Amino acid sequence: ASLAVLVGCSGQVSGRGGGDEEEGDSSADDDAVDDGSSGDDGIFGTGGRGGSGGTPPASAGLGRLTDSEAKACTGTLDPGTLPPRRLTRREYNNTVADLLGDTSSPAKDFPSDERVYNFDNNAAALSVSAALAEQYQQKADTLAQAASTKLCANNGCTKADIVEGFGLKAFRRPLEAAEVTRYGKVFDQGAKTNAQTGAKLVIEAMLQSAPFLYRLETSGTATSGLVKVSPYEMASRLSYLLWASMPDDELLQAAKDNKLGTTAEVRAQVDRMLKSPKTERMVESFHEPWMALAEVFSLDKVGFPAWKPTTMADMKAETAAFVSEVFRSNGSLETLLTAPYTFVNQNLAQVYGMDATGMTSSLKRVDLDPKQRLGLLTQGAILAHEAKPNQSSPVLRGKFVRDAILCSPPPPPPMNIEIKPPDLDPNLTTRQRFDLHRNTEGCKECHMLLDPVGLGFENFDAVGKYRATENGKTIDASGELIETDVDGAFNGVSELANKLASSDQVKRCY
């Protein structure tokens, strides 16, 4: 499977696509926006992947797999079919920044990307609404005006510079002959006024075209079997995976030189790319939705004086800084779950009950007592989010571990069950209050999976502050994992984190 990923195995689909052009008519460019369905026309093949029909374009490159490569792609591996991947708002902003030098994040005005399991880059869910199409048009006009002014001021305003030079970067591949002709006519029309107008019209058109707005893989043919993606397609696979943006000049040059076709060549580029600060984009774009950090901003807490409007942003920043530090140090999932340090400022230190002496509003790395706090699971962004406004929640915290860490969610509750935590009682601990609800028919089947995990978090209150007692009683933070590959008892989150860090199931889930 690893070889299959590196050499770029792709499944075949049938249907007419952007790779099938007749008499200079590039249908892929004309269908820049669509409802995301896999119809028979335009860039969408009947299997949901564009550009699979007709003759492979000039950029097809490596073409079909060799026998040995095809063997590596067969067996239990099914590469599936690829839908046209529309750029997300994050990818659009990054691409515009790298392509045009515009760091204004123009996609912030776009409609929100549809989320699937918190992630915003599920290709099948990313359609184009009328509102988004209108935004594409408006932003293309504004961006093209600024870009053409800059290019022409730097003497990069000839037809070849704009159509072929700029087009190579915008489309992440060389333009085909028919495209060069079509965009050349657009330039000529604008150049009747002046060269900058010609450049503006071409850039504006390209920023609304399918090859810019979508990642289209068109090197396949409509025959059975597997194909190998082209060097330029591999360049985009790598750049959008590791940088959430377009390929840089070195990747494009490697594609031009046909040096992205072997495992060693791809690995060399990956090693280079991982050293770039751009990789932080990938780290953030995965971990933020994985932990639902965007939802941290909507939290409200009752009865916790240290909780402030800025606390939510500080917690999100803490986790972002922590994840970035782990990635830069050794990139280990085990470290992510068990690192004995975090990042706090004066506000967070007060919320967590830590010593805030000498701290400011800036985040500072601090060492932790590993018997109390350890790794990701003891950070406020998770502890406060997976809790109620006025109390901790063994159910939510247990569900987070089951869902996000183990990929083993419990079945949904019965339709007729009213979901509410047991009422607060000043004479009982949370564990005592939840004992009754865990023994209720219709509830216990699921809660035997959730509560024994979530109760291990009981040393942390609703805002993530460590506590040894609740309502004057010593907290029992013992718990148990069942139906996992690391089943067994644990006491507190630190022991739970170490068990999870040793789990192959957790590694596969992550």
- pLDDT tens column, 202-261: 999 999 999 999 999 887 654 556 777 899 999 999 999 999 999 999 999 999 999 998
**Whole-number pLDDT of residue 220:** 61
Please check the confidence at residue 318 and state whether its pLDDT lies above 80: yes
What's the CA gap between 176 and 18, in Å, rounded? 12
Q: How confident is the model at residue 31 (pLDDT cuts 50, 70, 90)?
A: very low
**Whole-number pLDDT of residue 437:** 64
What's the CA gap between 192 and 211, in Å, rounded? 27
Please check the confidence at residue 32 and state whether its pLDDT lies above 60: no
> Which of the two residues, 76 and 359, has the higher pLDDT score?
359
CA distances (Å), 413 to each of 166, 443, 483, in order?
55, 7, 18
Q: How confident is the model at residue 443 (pLDDT cuts 50, 70, 90)?
A: confident
Model pTM? 0.77
Q: Please compute the mean of the pLDDT values over residues 384-408 and round it to a whole number.
A: 94
Q: Please compute the mean of the pLDDT values over residues 423-444 and round it to a whole number.
A: 79
Q: Flag the least confident range among 55-59, 65-69, 155-159.
A: 55-59
> Which of the two residues, 94 and 416, has the higher pLDDT score?
94
What's the CA gap between 423 and 308, in Å, rounded? 25
Tokens of 125: 């869910």
Q: How confident is the model at residue 7 (pLDDT cuts 50, 70, 90)?
A: very low
Instruction: Answer whether 229's CB lies under 8 Å from 22's CB.
Output: no
Q: Please compute the mean of the pLDDT values over residues 172-184 and round it to a whole number.
A: 97
Please check the confidence at residue 71 and state whether its pLDDT lies above 70: no
Please check the confidence at residue 383 and state whether its pLDDT lies above 50: yes
Q: Please compute the mean of the pLDDT values over residues 417-446 and round it to a whole number.
A: 77
> Which of the two residues, 58 and 162, has the higher pLDDT score?
162
> Which of the two residues, 432 and 209, has the higher pLDDT score?
209
Q: Please compute the mean of the pLDDT values over residues 270-284 and round it to a whole number.
A: 92
> Which of the two residues, 170 and 61, has the higher pLDDT score?
170
Please check the confidence at residue 412 and state whether its pLDDT lies above 90: no
Please check the confidence at residue 100 and state whether its pLDDT lies above 90: yes
Positive/negative CA dihedral, 502, 505, 508, 510 = negative
Please check the confidence at residue 9 and state whether its pLDDT lies above 70: no
**Whole-number pLDDT of residue 57:** 32
Q: How confident is the model at residue 47 (pLDDT cuts 50, 70, 90)?
A: very low
What's the CA gap between 210 and 362, in Å, rounded? 43
Positive/negative CA dihedral, 145, 150, 151, 157 = positive
Q: Please compute the mean of the pLDDT values over residues 301-330 and round it to a whole number.
A: 92
Please check the confidence at residue 19 and state whether its pLDDT lies above 80: no
Please check the confidence at residue 33 and state whether its pLDDT lies above 60: no
Q: Taking all residues of the chain, what is their mean pLDDT, rounded to a whole number?
A: 84
State the distance between the two ends of the chain, measured CA to CA, in whole angstroms. Answer: 17
Q: Please compute the mean of the pLDDT values over residues 416-444 and round it to a whole number.
A: 77
> Which of the two residues, 55 and 118, has the higher pLDDT score?
118
Contacts of 31 (CB under 8 A, 6+ apart): 18, 41, 42, 43, 44, 210
